[in-house]
Structure 1
Amino acid sequence: TTTRKEPLNTTNFLACQRILTEFVKIFDIHGYEKDSPLEQRVFFSLNGYTTLTKLIELRAECHKPPLAPESLIALTVSVYRAATNNNVDNALYILNSGKILILVESLVRHLTGLKIDDLTTSNNDHQSESEKLAQIDLVTNLAEILASLITMYNSVMNDIRKHETETNEDKLIISRLTDFISYMANIAILDRIAAFFRSARAIVNTTKSRIPDMITHLLNLLQQMIYFSRPKIYLPPFGHSSKKSVNDPAQVLSIMKTTNFCEIFSLLYGILIHDTDNNNNNNNNQTMHDNNSPITLHEKTLIILNNSLILLNTIAILDLDIFQTILGEETISLQLRHVANYILAHCHNQQTTINDTLLHQIILLIGYYSVLNQDNQCRLAFGNRPTVLQQLSCLPFRYFVESKYMDILFPTLMACSFDCEATRTILQTEMSLDLIVNFIQIKLTETKMTNEDTFAFYMIFPRDECNNALKYYRPISKLTTNQIESHDDEEKENIEIKS
């Protein structure tokens, strides 16, 4: 079939399906064991990847009838993933042989043909429904294998960065990986993901839907592409604009900027608005921003939210200027406030491990969004009450008394209100500024800086502004009292001089 370029007949299709299924079972039993990659090595030595690549190419030509159904190609990609799982040697072979380009091009092609409206429309035609599921599975498997491969490549890069000097082989690997990631970014894969995220609605509120898994793997793929740009040591994202190009060797961030970060906030906004409508229908039209109303989110929705926020926070560390500029645009800023309000209200009412993780990520994102940016700071005071800033200042009591939780919340409170009278005034009505003053004083006495921790204080608020912040948050009442006493002393001195 692969040689003659003829469509698979039923006999050949069933034979291929049976063999590929057996391969998956073999790798599931043996190949996934950390210390038993024997089956993967045998598969490689028998040119298994070449055969799989030829099968994937059966649907490579867009303008000709497909030679194999999508369900078979999806199963082929599953075998590809299983044969490569946790095997760096096989992963590097796929890179060096160029076979990985077939996977990338296949993902772009099938993402382009993915129509979200058709996928979410119910249809009684069983065959049509099977085709929809096969289409989803194929894109999901392609995104998963590419994310898995780039994860291993990033691990190789981390090992290379630990070397005191780079060998010629190291330089060759770095060059090939940079070219590959750059190729992925420039082949329009980011544009296709953005188009899909922009149109995704009402798709993650049921366990029967496979689309949430596809979104999760696409987000993971984006995350791994961004991770490739990570420096050896994270630096605070302040005052090193001239080095931004070093943090984007494959130009992934630059291209993501043109797609509004792959329309992630459009995705989150659409999902949460749909869930809000469901909550309103099920809870007598209780509003999205009512902290007393029960807000429930599906587990897969929580995973998508958490992965999205981790991705955005990684971008903020690598290039804060681009991050604040894109999220500061009017439409995206509005979506951000709605998403932040929803997450804060949800996590305030339901305290679980995954909700706490999600809460910490949205707090961190708000901090990066507003730090040293007065326009974005003021936007946090806009909208229906309670605003984002008010919800931050009304978090559970432990965030104001326990140091590990204060380390998460207080840098963001400072980022939202420092050098911004409007937000500081709001914050002062909700809490005592003495708490922030005491927090800053403690941080000024600390000598250990752990930049590897993204929640480290100086990763969110610039160290050289701490003394200015300390003066800024001094209680106004105390400043007023001190000014009155100083004025009285001056008057006494003047009287004494005159006398």
Structure 2
Amino acid sequence: MVPQPGSSPPEPWARASIGGLQLLLTGPVPHLPSPAPGDLAAGALTDTFLGTIQRLLDPGVPRQCLILDYEDVVRSLCSAVNVYNLTCNNCSETCTDVLFSNKITFLMDLLIHQLTVYVPDENNAILGRNANKQVFEGLTTGLLKVSAVVLGCLMANRPNGSSRPALPKIAAQDMKNKPSQGDAFNSRVQDLISYVVNVGLVDKLCGCFLSVQGPVDEDPRVAVLLQHAAGLLQAACSLCFAVTGRSYSIFDSNRQDPTGLTAALQATDLAGVLHMLYCVLFHGAISDPSATSPKETYSQNTVQVATQSLRFLNSFAALDLPAFQVKRCMCYSPLLAPASPSGGGRSSIVGAEGLSLAFRHIASSLLGHCSQVSCESLLHEVIVCVGYFTVNHPDNQVVVQSGRHPTVLQQLCQLPFQYFSDPRLIKVLFPSLIAACHNNRQNRIILEQEMSCVLLATFIQDFAQTPGQADNQSYQPKGRCLCSQDYLELANRFPQQAWEEARQFFLQKEK
């Protein structure tokens, strides 16, 4: 096991060994060979560094053979994980090998070990109780990062997609009875997601998110860990969408998830991400953000955390839209919780009203930031998330048109002129406006104060008449994943069967 602080000083030879290992791991990276297709260098390199990590942590190694200085060991582990990340980044062959050779399982086990040591058990965790601050040190962050990198690369290069990486030879022999590469890949990824859910990764990440009760402006370590943790959840949701054999449409009623990821995220209120984001933005100090002016702008650390958190929320919405919209799934905001009947303060779980307020405050505050500072990536994630929040959901449509002025709906209608003239930006904004206002006359009245609803009707008509848009969406193969462009298509933001009805609604004139 990893030696603990307070151990006896290491022998000189041990310190020299760890010094040499540290020099090797932290030396210049450019001399490392860039892996080419079919090149085994990357696989050999990942094997080398995984072997290093395993030897440092193997409880079977005699104690006298261990490097006994705790900080040196952790520093070397961090360096090994960082180099491992470099070998996997944007290399589909290496990431495929990591998946099929079960190296990814060891990485996940090591991550779970770190989180188990520093994050309270679910039964002992209470809202606002901080996880051990050491969880925010480099090793846990590095493991989250490399895990997210591997899953993200697998997502971008999965079989039957735009790229078809060859499976490793050993894995191909193991899978020779499988009908196709795609089936072998899907089966292995499902097993991986099921494994990390069953060992409690979602619960432990939830503990990390819930421990954040204030700003991250001055603590980049916490901000980086939150980004990579949300990135790992986003990659898991995207892969789960792709490999579970469901329809390509996010509005399909068949949403079976054999991995258990959806259920785990529902049970933990989206792993506490919404709660964390609320506390980061409002600093956990005000019970009603609508009673005071929100902060005009946020630091870069906060913006990066918010952007990645919203990417995760949007990926979960694509995975299971009803679960995303259901009230209990987005309600974890202790600052908005009603007082308990006994007068003992606020309850830990809020009701539907608290959910609505929390999401509305977050969206409004981030839209306000984007009106002051150019941040297209964050703005687009907020716009898409508001669309998912309101589509086919009358109660949530009311949420975005209520509250402090300008409301969320008014803020969307007051975006710069380019979002109403540039086709690329129109494609981002208009589906969310359609989702927020469809079959809601009050919202349409608010919309008409800023723009003509005919623009939305024309947008729908243009999509319906574009070759391939109206017909092909219904015939996309099951298991196909959403790429960055598909993510913005109207058919993935508003149900295709309601296009004509919505077009007629926006053409109606008030009597």
* TM bracket (short chain): 0.7 to 0.9
User: 1:237 maps to which residue?
Assistant: 250
Q: CA deviation at 1:75?
A: 2.5
User: 1:337 maps to which residue?
Assistant: 360
User: 2:261 maps to which residue?
Assistant: 252
1:288 aligns with 2:293: yes
Task: Report the more deviating stretch, 71-80 or 139-148.
Answer: 71-80
Task: Report the more deviating stretch, 265-274 or 146-155.
Answer: 146-155
User: 2:349 maps to which residue?
Assistant: none
Mapped contact 1:71–1:135 kept (Cα < 8 A):
no
1:249/1:24 CA distance change after superposition, 3 Å: farther
> Hey, what's the Cα distance between the residues in 1 that align with 2:72 and 2:390?
46
2:371 to 339, 348, 359: 348
Q: CA deviation at 1:74?
A: 4.7
1:212 to 223, 234, 256: 223
User: 1:421 maps to which residue?
Assistant: 441
> Hey, what's the Cα distance between the residues in 1 that align with 2:28 and 2:186?
30
> Hey, what's the Cα distance between the residues in 1 that align with 2:486 and 2:188?
30
User: 1:9 maps to which residue?
Assistant: 9
2:273 to 260, 264, 288: 264
- Larger RCO: 1 or 2 (CA < 8 Å, sep 6+): 2
User: 1:197 maps to which residue?
Assistant: 209
Q: Which 5+ residue runs of structure 1 have no aligned equivalent?
A: 61-65, 122-130, 281-285, 481-499
Mapped contact 1:103–1:146 kept (Cα < 8 A):
yes
1:161/1:33 CA distance change after superposition, 3 Å: closer
Name which one, 1 or 2, has greater alpha-carbon Rg: 1
1:108 aligns with 2:112: yes
> Hey, what's the Cα distance between the residues in 1 that align with 2:282 and 2:320?
29
Structure 1 residues 189-229: Cα deviation after superposition (integer angstroms, max 9, x where no partner): 111111211221334202x5311111111112112212221
Give the 3-state SS of the residue equivalent to 1:473 in structure 2: helix
1:374 aligns with 2:394: yes
Q: CA deviation at 1:347?
A: 0.8
Q: CA deviation at 1:275?
A: 9.7
2:248 counterpart letter in structure 1 = L
Q: CA deviation at 1:174?
A: 4.0
Scaled by the length of structure 2, the TM-score of the pair is 0.74
> Hey, what's the Cα distance between the residues in 1 that align with 2:465 and 2:426?
16
> Hey, what's the Cα distance between the residues in 2 that align with 1:317 and 1:16?
49
Give the 3-state SS of the residue equivalent to 1:229 in structure 2: helix
Map 1:7-156 to 2 at 5 A: 9-10=9-10, 11=12, 14-26=15-27, 28-31=29-32, 33-35=34-36, 40=42, 49-57=50-58, 69=70, 72-83=73-84, 85-86=87-88, 100-114=104-118, 136-154=137-155
1:337/1:32 CA distance change after superposition, 3 Å: farther
Mapped contact 2:81–2:142 kept (Cα < 8 A):
no
RMSD: 4.0
Q: CA deviation at 1:58?
A: 5.6
1:327 counterpart letter in structure 2 = M
Give the 3-state SS of the residue equivalent to 1:157 in structure 2: coil
1:270 counterpart letter in structure 2 = C
> Hey, what's the Cα distance between the residues in 2 that align with 1:306 and 1:384?
23
Count of residues paired in the alignment: 441
2:107 counterpart letter in structure 1 = L
Q: CA deviation at 1:342?
A: 0.7
Mapped contact 2:84–2:146 kept (Cα < 8 A):
no
Mapped contact 2:119–2:207 kept (Cα < 8 A):
no
Q: CA deviation at 1:27?
A: 7.1
> Hey, what's the Cα distance between the residues in 2 that align with 1:397 and 1:331?
33
1:403/1:254 CA distance change after superposition, 3 Å: same
> Hey, what's the Cα distance between the residues in 2 that align with 1:40 and 1:106?
21
Structure 1 residues 446-498: Cα deviation after superposition (integer angstroms, max 9, x where no partner): 22328652111221112221221222122425xx4xxxxxxxxxxxxxxxxxx
Q: Percent identity?
A: 26
Map 1:477-488 to 2 at 5 A: 477=510, 480=511
User: 1:474 maps to which residue?
Assistant: 507
Mapped contact 1:24–1:82 kept (Cα < 8 A):
yes
> Hey, what's the Cα distance between the residues in 2 that align with 1:436 and 1:270?
36
User: 1:158 maps to which residue?
Assistant: 159
1:389 aligns with 2:409: yes
Q: CA deviation at 1:182?
A: 0.9
Q: CA deviation at 1:371?
A: 0.7
Q: CA deviation at 1:159?
A: 5.5
Q: Which 5+ residue runs of structure 2 have no aligned equivalent?
A: 62-66, 165-174, 332-351, 474-484
1:227 aligns with 2:224: no
Mapped contact 1:178–1:250 kept (Cα < 8 A):
yes
Q: CA deviation at 1:97?
A: 5.9
Scaled by the length of structure 1, the TM-score of the pair is 0.76
> Hey, what's the Cα distance between the residues in 2 that align with 1:288 and 1:172?
53
Q: CA deviation at 1:249?
A: 4.2
